[in-house]
């Protein structure tokens, strides 16, 4: 962290980015980082591979996120947030080129790809790390920054339900709420602005639920056909995996998803309950994440990919 603070003091212009498929933590931590940099009189440009999801467009800084990968921005260093691997920033890598990279992340699988790496797997979220950066640099929070950090922590802790939630998390959140945030309103904006087709897609996905013989592995799938049927443009399946995970005795939940950006890719998410390390499973297939939440992408047919993944999980569970 000391090196990050030094670099922020030293340089003047920063490109800020995060992983593809923006969500609460990647978006919130980037916007808060921009507030911090601008408060210090620095220039900050947020460039991401993917657009701001519809339900986050209410954030005051949402319009400051650019997807212009050909933008000619002058910057001295790139701040990469919430990314375990450099690959996860997608096409933004081309914009960064050979510039200095500062990697700030809380994924246990982080590959330390930066020139400066601040990785803290005990942090609940990248947002929590940016909060600590404000404190380390003696910078006051703004109401906007408090909102961004609150959303980052709220979403990455599963609304303070996952075991990355601690008394420290609540202390930070208590301070953030002191800036006049309205938690009920934030929750409604973040979680209750789904479209009818989102819910139809959830119904179709839940109908595919399967559980293994032992009853400790449960999985659902989202296919291209379902996307059409639900009239869903993109596979918006945030939160679907919580349903198989919520089943009694299930230790590993999986979501298999077709219809991602690259043809022939199956996107896979893993969640675990208890002491199964799903980061290990995802890492085996070239992905990564956290002990209880991870993901990977495998090329192949849905049936073939499912077979491979399920066999690996059985092997890991049964040794
Ligand atoms: Mn995160």
Confidence bin at 194 (pLDDT 50/70/90) = confident
Distance 85 CA to ligand 1 centre (A): 13
pLDDT at 263 over 80: no
Kindly give the distance from the C-alpha atom of residue 126 to the centroid of ligand 1, in angstroms, as a whole number.
5
Q: Domain 2-191 carries which CATH code?
A: 3.90.1640.10
pLDDT for res 308: 97
Distances (CA, A) of 100 to 152, 188, 268: 25, 39, 32
For residues 246-260, average pLDDT: 93
Arch. (CATH architecture) of 196-318:
Roll (3.10)
Give CA–CA dist 226/204, Å, rounded: 7
Nearest to 102 by CA among 116, 123, 120: 116
The share of the chain scoring above pLDDT 90, in percent, equals 86
Query: In angstroms, rounded to a whole number, what is the distance separating the alpha carbons of residues 86 and 287?
Result: 12
Cβ burial 91-101 (10 Å sphere, 16+ → b, else e): ebbebbeeebb
Provide the token pair at 27.
Answer: 């978006």
The pLDDT, as a whole number, for residue 259 is 76
The C-alpha atoms of residue 221 and residue 256 are separated, in whole angstroms, by 5
Taken in order 80, 293, 287, 280, the sign of the CA dihedral is positive
Percent of the chain residues topping a pLDDT of 70: 98
CA distance 84 to 78: 15
Q: List pLDDT tens digits, range 66-116.
A: 999 988 899 999 999 999 999 999 999 999 999 999 999 999 989 999 999
The stretch 233-254 carries a mean pLDDT of 89
CA of 245 to the centre of ligand 1 (A): 19
Per-residue pLDDT reduced to its tens digit, 151-193? 999 999 999 998 899 999 999 999 999 999 999 999 999 999 8
The alpha carbon of 156 and the centre of ligand 1 are apart by a number of angstroms equal to 6
pLDDT at 261 over 70: no
pLDDT at 138 over 70: yes
Ligand 1 centroid from CA 98, angstroms: 25
Q: Is 315 exposed, middle or buried (0-12, 13-18, 19+ CB in 10 A)?
A: exposed
Domain extents in the chain: 2-191, 196-318
| Average pLDDT of span 266-278 | 93
What was the pLDDT predicted at 68?
94
According to the model, what pLDDT value does residue 235 have?
Answer: 59
Distance 105 CA to ligand 1 centre (A): 7
Shortest CA distance to 141 belongs to which of 6, 56, 35, 44? 35
> Taking the alpha carbons of 18, 21, 24, 25 in that order, is the dihedral positive or negative?
negative
pLDDT in tens, 42-66: 999 999 999 999 889 999 999 999 9
Residue 26 C-alpha to ligand 1 middle, in angstroms? 6
Distance 97 CA to ligand 1 centre (A): 24
How confident is residue 118, by pLDDT bands cut at 50, 70 and 90? very high
Flag the least confident range among 6-10, 56-60, 258-262.
Answer: 258-262
How far, in Å, from the CA of 214 to the mean position of ligand 1? 32
Tell me the CA distances in angstroms from 138 to 116, 141, 144, 171, one per residue in order: 21, 10, 17, 18
How far, in Å, from the CA of 73 to the mean position of ligand 1? 26
* Max intra-chain CA distance, the chain: 60
């Amino acid at each position: 962290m000391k090196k990050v603070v030094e670099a922020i003091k030293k340089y003047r212009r920063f490109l800020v980015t995060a992983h593809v498929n923006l969500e609460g933590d990647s978006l919130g931590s980037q916007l808060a980082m921009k507030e911090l940099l601008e408060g210090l009189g620095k220039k900050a440009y947020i460039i991401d591979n993917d657009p701001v999801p519809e339900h986050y467009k209410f954030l005051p800084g949402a319009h400051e996120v650019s997807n212009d990968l050909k933008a000619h921005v002058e910057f001295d260093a790139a701040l990469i947030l919430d990314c375990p691997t450099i690959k996860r920033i997608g096409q933004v890598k081309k914009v960064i080129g050979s510039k200095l990279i500062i990697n700030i992340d809380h994924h246990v699988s982080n590959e330390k790809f930066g020139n400066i790496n601040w990785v803290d797997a005990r942090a609940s979220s990248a947002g929590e790390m940016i909060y600590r950066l404000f404190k380390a640099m003696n910078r006051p929070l703004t109401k906007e920054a408090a909102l961004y950090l609150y959303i980052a922590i709220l979403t990455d802790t599963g609304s303070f339900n996952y075991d990355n939630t601690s008394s420290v998390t609540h202390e930070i959140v208590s301070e953030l709420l002191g800036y006049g945030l309205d938690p009920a309103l934030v929750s409604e904006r973040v979680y209750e602005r789904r479209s009818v087709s989102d819910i139809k897609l959830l119904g179709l996905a839940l109908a595919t639920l399967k559980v293994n013989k032992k009853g400790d592995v449960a999985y659902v799938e989202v296919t291209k056909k379902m996307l059409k049927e639900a009239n869903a443009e993109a596979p918006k399946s945030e939160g679907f995996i919580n349903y198989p995970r919520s089943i009694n005795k299930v230790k590993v939940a999986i979501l298999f998803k077709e219809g991602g950006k690259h043809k022939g890719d199956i996107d896979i998410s893993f969640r675990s309950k208890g002491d199964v390390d799903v980061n290990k499973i995802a890492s085996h297939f070239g992905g990564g994440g956290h002990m209880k939440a991870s993901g990977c992408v495998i090329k192949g047919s849905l049936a073939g990919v499912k077979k491979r993944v399920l066999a690996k999980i059985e092997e890991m569970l049964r040794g």
